[in-house]
Amino acid sequence: MLSIAHGLTGAFIATNLPSPFLYIPLTFASHYLEDWIPHWDVGTGLSTGKRSVRTALLLEVGDLVLTFGLVYLFWGYGQPDLSLFWLAVIGAVVGLVPDFMEAPRNFLKREPFFLKPFNEVHGWFHHSTPNMALGLAPQLVTALLVFILK
């Protein structure tokens, strides 16, 4: 999934549950559930050589900027009290942690030993598709649902 889907889902969960003891593990788990759905993301083609590391990295930076821009737009823009926005940021970051743990392997071709078990679990859930339209559809639905339900 794109960071947008994971980040918005994490922000939504964090802003709708009363305790970090609930929203942190649920936000973290939501990442794996979303990755189980066949999807397209900026890393699609990285392992097969169809996408360069440089291109994937540039796309990911744009994805992250757009993610946090949408989090601000949904939970911060025009709000005199930004406490809900910062809660949304925490949820977005936690929702992205599995991808952050995979970044050294994907972008630097180095995997610290302590991240390997987490990345293996992530790999069990991860289902990419090279079909961009099919892979972006569930992510657009996710973003729209978050916008409507927030």
Say what the pTM is: 0.93
Eight-class DSSP state of 114 = T
Query: How buried is residue 20: exposed, middle or buried, by Cβ count under 10 Å (0-12/13-18/19+)?
Result: middle
CB 27 within 8 A of CB 9: yes
pLDDT tens track, the chain, 150 positions: 999 999 999 999 999 998 999 999 999 999 999 999 999 988 877 777 788 889 989 999 999 999 999 999 999 999 999 999 999 999 999 999 999 999 999 888 899 999 999 999 999 999 989 899 999 999 999 999 999 999
Of 67, 7, 31, 32, nearest in space to 15 by CA: 7
Query: How buried is residue 32: exposed, middle or buried, by Cβ count under 10 Å (0-12/13-18/19+)?
Result: middle
Amino acid type, 38: P
Eight-class DSSP state of 39 = B
- How many structural domains is the chain composed of? 1
Domain that holds residue 118: 3-149
Query: How buried is residue 79: exposed, middle or buried, by Cβ count under 10 Å (0-12/13-18/19+)?
Result: exposed
Measured in whole angstroms, the distance separating CA 136 from the mean position of its chain's CA atoms is 13
